[in-house]
């Protein structure tokens, strides 16, 4: 296997093994930090792009004629009827955002192979309340660069949350810079603080990623990782053999193979330690590093590897590291709002058309679009005096929709009223922070336990939460302040007027807001309409779950009959996803083969130490999730002999009207 290893690292004294292992493993954790750092940062600017979207799925017309605030990938951006420039910018940016999720997976699997249990709540990024302090108007790209050490024209760049602007895009271009460009912008008197040589000077065995030198670029960080991996000692052993964690649990979302998902990158490995032979595992990791840097900066490590292997002709992203268009069409089909398949989807077009460009080139393309002055962001939309009207939320077929949804007039009024109360902005910021915290909390378990599901709905649900904040307030959600702590021992509730202990019209406390079953922490906190079987822990819920009615997957298809009721779930992860329950959230068919059949849910009185089963209730396709939650709530009050029983709210709260249904 060809390498760019220095000869002196092939004859290292074996007493340095623990020292070198500490450095290698610190870099592996730093790589996770760096990849994770980009995701909320990019998400906030991505969803600042003004636009609307529909919610569709196969064989389903729940949301016919409805539009929801927030842009989405376009299947034909150049011919977008509203704003082609916005559509092109969103597609470019969306493809980068998805790549960063892939990079986080690759970095996590590399870390596991190197004996590191990944952490997704590093002090380099967040405080103890899940506040993303790394975006608090700082000058530091974690582990990479401090802009105070750069020359004029770059030393004023801030690491902060913002709309997609030319100024913010400067930050993104700097993140994705290659070594040559980075060296040209660093103050010559400070260059010695960057681009460290392996082995690191002044490194101690007890050091962690907090003690690492600054790398200058993401590519240089991965180069150092690879150089440490290739250290060989004079006793003929190697550092990689010393740390290699054979058979460790790795996870793969992108190349998973099943009846409903084809590998998205069939030509590249996405896991390392499945190979028990050391050379094979190293080769896999090399290709994974190559993929990250190839897609990102398009040169650096990736370019060196190609040069070593005789591939002297430069190409921004090798075909091996581009997604398969055929797989994307299968995995992410497009449907009309009446449930008819109509490929390609915006997801497919955005990723396949941009797959040959590295991230730096994609941000250059975005820069050119920004320079036209035609990109419109939500802050600009609000600054122009726009207010929500019902017509903005309607499209062809609105009057044909017979499902029990709130009217477009009611939703528009709620959006405007939410903006009028300044206190709501803080709530929505905490909602977004809580949704993202749901991801980071679950990720550690995901890489530690085979029974933990990936919080994929939280990834998409977090985008919804960020997007709706922009759309309502014209401001980004301030996720630097973190979330409100829950009170231990408190039985919370999932939605408006469902508090068992204090019946009133209050909604769930912000502390328990979440957007994913996987980040549903406790009993009574299960929200939306993606029902789970009682006792089931491995569940595919969330993103495009209605689509799966075409490809039956238990438990959503009613193969077993007992489901967990919303706001009455008995344990972590049961009872559905989002809190609060959107006023537009409807149940899919319990059994797609017999959509007219009702499903059955268990109802419990959640008393300590063991919940008491009270009986069952039924639900059917198209039932409002809140209505079923209310039915379960009333059954519990009846069992406690509450008299008189409370009246069901006649008006949906503005918050529930504003939130789109979970998808």
Give the integer Cα–Cα distance in Å for 365 and 353: 13
pLDDT at position 555 is 35
Pair (363, 420) in one structural domain? no
Give the integer Cα–Cα distance in Å for 510 and 195: 44
Closest by Cα among 361, 363, 371 to 85: 371
pLDDT at position 24 is 99
Secondary structure (3-state) at 564: strand
Give the integer Cα–Cα distance in Å for 118 and 225: 16
Stretch 40-65: mean pLDDT:
97
Contact 604, 617 (CB under 8 A): no
Contact 626, 656 (CB under 8 A): yes
Handedness of CA 431, 433, 439, 440 (dihedral sign): negative
Pair (362, 406) in one structural domain? no
Assigned domain for 383 exists? no
Pair (319, 203) in one structural domain? yes
- Quickly tell me which residue has 């004023």 as its tokens: 156
Pair (426, 328) in one structural domain? no
Secondary structure (3-state) at 282: helix
Assigned domain for 393 exists? no
Domain that holds residue 282: 7-371
Q: Report how far apart, in Å, the C-alpha atoms of 522 and of each of 229, 530, 612 are.
A: 41, 17, 16
Instruction: List helix spans (H) across 122-258.
Output: 166-175, 179-185, 218-229, 239-243
Closest by Cα among 135, 144, 53 to 94: 53
- Quickly tell me which residue has 């200058």 as its tokens: 216
Query: Residue 285: CB partners within 8 Å, gap ≥ 6?
Result: 110, 113, 226, 229, 272
Better-predicted residue by pLDDT, 281 or 540: 281
Assigned domain for 247 exists? yes
Assigned domain for 307 exists? yes
| Concatenated DSSP letters of 597-642 | S-EEEEEEE--SSS-EEEEEEEE-TT-BHHHHHHHHHHHHHHHTT-
Contact 221, 144 (CB under 8 A): yes
Pair (416, 337) in one structural domain? no
Closest by Cα among 574, 587, 578 to 631: 587
pTM: 0.90
Assigned domain for 622 exists? yes
Assigned domain for 651 exists? yes
Pair (334, 412) in one structural domain? no
Assigned domain for 376 exists? no
Stretch 19-47: mean pLDDT:
98
Contact 367, 165 (CB under 8 A): no
- At residue 298 the predicted structure's pLDDT band, cuts being 50, 70 and 90, is low
Query: Which residues pair with residue 379 across a beta bridge?
Result: none
| H or E, element range at 563 | strand 562-564
CATH number at residue 164: 1.20.1260.10
Handedness of CA 134, 138, 141, 143 (dihedral sign): negative
Strand 52-53 and strand 140-141: pairing?
unpaired
Give the integer Cα–Cα distance in Å for 648 and 391: 30
Assigned domain for 390 exists? no
What pLDDT digit, counting tens, does each position of 365-388 carry?
999 999 999 999 999 999 999 999
Pair (425, 309) in one structural domain? no
Q: How many domains does the chain have?
A: 2
| Concatenated DSSP letters of 25-69 | HHHHHHHHHHHHHHHHHHHHHHTTB--EE---BTTB-TTTTB-EE
pLDDT at position 546 is 33
What pLDDT digit, counting tens, does each position of 493-521 carry?
555 546 656 656 566 666 666 444 433 34
3-class DSSP string for 343-395: CCCHHHHHHHHHCCCCHHHHHHHHHHHHHCCCCCEHHHHHHCCCCCCHHHHEC
Rg of the chain over all Cα atoms, to the nearest angstrom = 25
| H or E, element range at 52 | strand 52-53
Is the pLDDT assigned to residue 527 strictly greater than 80?
A: no
φ/ψ of 394, rounded to 5, equals: -115, 150
What pLDDT digit, counting tens, does each position of 598-638 carry?
888 878 777 777 778 888 888 899 999 888 888 888 888 89
Pair (565, 460) in one structural domain? yes
Pair (351, 447) in one structural domain? no
| H or E, element range at 568 | none
Query: Which residues pair with residue 562 across a beta bridge?
Result: 600
Is the pLDDT assigned to residue 551 strictly greater than 50?
A: no
What pLDDT digit, counting tens, does each position of 249-263 carry?
999 999 999 998 999
Pair (288, 232) in one structural domain? yes
Pair (197, 299) in one structural domain? yes
Give the integer Cα–Cα distance in Å for 516 and 445: 15
For the chain, the residue count is 663
Of 354, 371, 388, the one marking the end of a domain is 371
pLDDT at position 553 is 34
Pair (333, 476) in one structural domain? no
């Amino acid at each position: 296997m060809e390498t760019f290893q220095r000869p002196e690292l092939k004859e290292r004294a074996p007493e340095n093994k623990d020292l070198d292992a500490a450095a290698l493993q610190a870099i592996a954790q730093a790589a996770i930090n760096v990849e994770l750092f980009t995701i909320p940062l990019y998400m906030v600017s991505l969803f600042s792009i003004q636009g609307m979207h529909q919610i569709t799925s196969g064989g389903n017309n729940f949301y016919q004629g409805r539009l929801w605030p927030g842009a989405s990938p376009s299947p034909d951006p150049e011919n977008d009827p509203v704003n082609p420039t916005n559509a092109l910018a969103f597609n470019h940016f969306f493809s980068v955002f998805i790549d960063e999720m892939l990079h986080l997976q690759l970095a996590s699997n590399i870390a596991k192979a190197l004996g590191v249990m990944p952490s997704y709540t590093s002090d380099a990024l967040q405080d103890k309340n899940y506040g993303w302090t790394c975006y608090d108007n700082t000058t530091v790209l974690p582990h990479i660069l401090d802009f105070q050490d750069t020359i004029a024209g770059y030393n004023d760049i801030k690491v902060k949350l913002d709309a997609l602007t030319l100024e913010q895009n400067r930050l993104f271009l700097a993140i994705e810079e290659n070594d040559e460009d980075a060296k040209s912008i660093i103050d010559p008197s400070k260059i010695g603080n960057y681009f460290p040589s392996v082995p690191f000077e002044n490194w101690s065995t007890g050091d962690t990623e907090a003690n690492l030198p600054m790398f200058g670029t993401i590519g240089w960080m991965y180069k150092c990782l690879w150089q440490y991996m290739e250290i060989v000692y004079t006793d003929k052993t190697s550092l990689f053999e010393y740390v290699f964690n054979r058979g460790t649990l790795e996870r793969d979302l992108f190349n998973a193979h099943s009846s409903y998902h084809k590998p998205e990158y069939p030509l590249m490995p996405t896991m390392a330690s499945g190979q028990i032979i050391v050379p094979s595992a190293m080769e896999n990791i090399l290709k994974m590093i190559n993929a990250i840097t190839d897609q990102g900066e398009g040169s650096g490590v990736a370019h060196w590897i190609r040069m070593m292997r005789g591939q002297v002709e430069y190409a921004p992203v090798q075909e091996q590291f581009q997604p398969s268009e055929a797989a994307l069409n299968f995995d992410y089909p497009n449907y009309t709002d009446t449930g008819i398949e109509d490929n390609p989807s915006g997801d497919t077009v955005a990723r396949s058309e941009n797959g040959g460009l590295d991230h730096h080139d994609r941000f250059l393309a975005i820069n050119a679009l920004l320079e036209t002055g035609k990109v419109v962001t939500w802050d600009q939309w609000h600054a122009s005096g726009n207010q929500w009207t019902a017509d903005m939320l309607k499209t062809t077929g609105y009057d044909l929709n017979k499902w029990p949804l709130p009217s477009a007039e009611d939703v528009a009024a709620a959006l405007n009223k939410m903006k009028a109360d300044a206190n709501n902005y803080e709530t929505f910021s905490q909602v977004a922070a809580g949704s993202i915290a749901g991801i980071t909390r679950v990720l550690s378990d995901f890489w530690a336990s085979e029974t933990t599901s990936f919080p994929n709905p939280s990834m998409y649900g977090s985008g919804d939460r960020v997007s709706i904040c922009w759309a309502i307030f014209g401001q980004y959600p301030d996720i630097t302040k973190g979330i409100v702590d829950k009170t231990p021992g408190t039985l919370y509730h999932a939605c408006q007027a469902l508090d068992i202990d204090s019946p009133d019209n209050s909604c769930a406390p912000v502390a328990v807001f979440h957007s994913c079953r996987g980040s549903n922490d406790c009993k009574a906190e299960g929200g939306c309409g993606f029902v789970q079987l009682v006792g089931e822990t491995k569940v595919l819920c969330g993103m495009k779950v209605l689509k799966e009615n075409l490809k039956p997957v238990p438990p959503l298809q009613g193969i077993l009959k007992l489901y967990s009721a919303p706001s009455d779930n008995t344990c972590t992860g049961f009872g559905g996803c989002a809190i609060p329950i959107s006023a537009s959230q409807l149940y899919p068919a319990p059994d797609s083969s017999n959509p007219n059949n009702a499903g059955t849910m268990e109802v419990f009185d959640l008393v300590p130490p063991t919940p008491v089963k009270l009986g069952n209730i039924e639900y059917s396709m198209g039932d409002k999730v809140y209505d079923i939650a209310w039915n379960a709530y009333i059954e519990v009050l009846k069992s406690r002999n509450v008299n008189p029983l409370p009246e069901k709210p006649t008006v949906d709260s503005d918050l529930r009207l504003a939130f789109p249904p979970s998808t």
